[in-house]
Amino acid sequence: MSLSLDPCELLSPDDLAELGAFEGPEKLQMPDSRTCRWQLPPSMENDFNGIVVDLDIRDQQTVESMNPVGGGEVTTSEVNSRPTAVAPDPSGTNCTVGMKIDDVSRIDVGIVGPRGQSCDIATTVAYIVEPRLPALPS
């Protein structure tokens, strides 16, 4: 089921407008995922380091197989009843929310952003993306 998904079609800069004027999407092919990236550039005026939003479709990795980030812990949750794993980086600048696509795959919402806000941003984006995912298999 995940092979039919294009991560760049699941989110738009308009969806992210409340966070700022994002650039993208930029399609990337990573070793273990198909990725699409949106970026809110840094601003020297207010010492803002910017935000990076990645949607990573992992065709052969499940929510249960999500690894901790930077020595943090993975917790389980749900987004609109969809099984989810959350992996915050203890530094507070990175956070990944992985959502189940089917029994063998997941989509990760990865955020690099302001310290202490990355998981909130990742969760907000996950709630935008989740209704656009295929229904979970019964």
Q: What is the DSSP track for 15-76? A: GGGGG---EEEEEEEETTEEEEEEEE--BTTTTB--EEEEEEEETT--GGGPPPSTT---EE
Q: Which helix (H) or strand (E) holds 126?
A: helix 118-129
Residue 1's pLDDT band, with cuts at 50, 70 and 90, is: low
Q: Which helix (H) or strand (E) holds 124?
A: helix 118-129
14-19: average pLDDT: 92
Residue 50 CB neighbour total at 10 angstroms? 15
Q: How far apart are CA 50 and CA 123, in angstroms?
A: 18
Q: Which of 133, 138, 127 is nearest to 15 (CA)?
A: 127
Tens digit of each residue's pLDDT (9 = 90 or more) over 20-75: 889 999 999 888 999 999 999 887 655 568 899 999 999 999 999 999 988 889 99
Contact in structure between 89 and 111 (CB atoms under 8 Å): no
Contact in structure between 16 and 22 (CB atoms under 8 Å): yes
Taking the mean position of all CA atoms in its chain, how far away is CA 92? 15
Q: Is 135 helix (H, G, I), strand (E, B) or coil?
A: coil
Q: Identify the pLDDT of residue 138.
A: 77
All structural domains of the chain, each given as residue ranges with its CATH number in brackets, are 2-132 (3.40.1000)
Inform me whether the pLDDT recorded for 120 exceeds 80: yes
Contact in structure between 78 and 69 (CB atoms under 8 Å): no
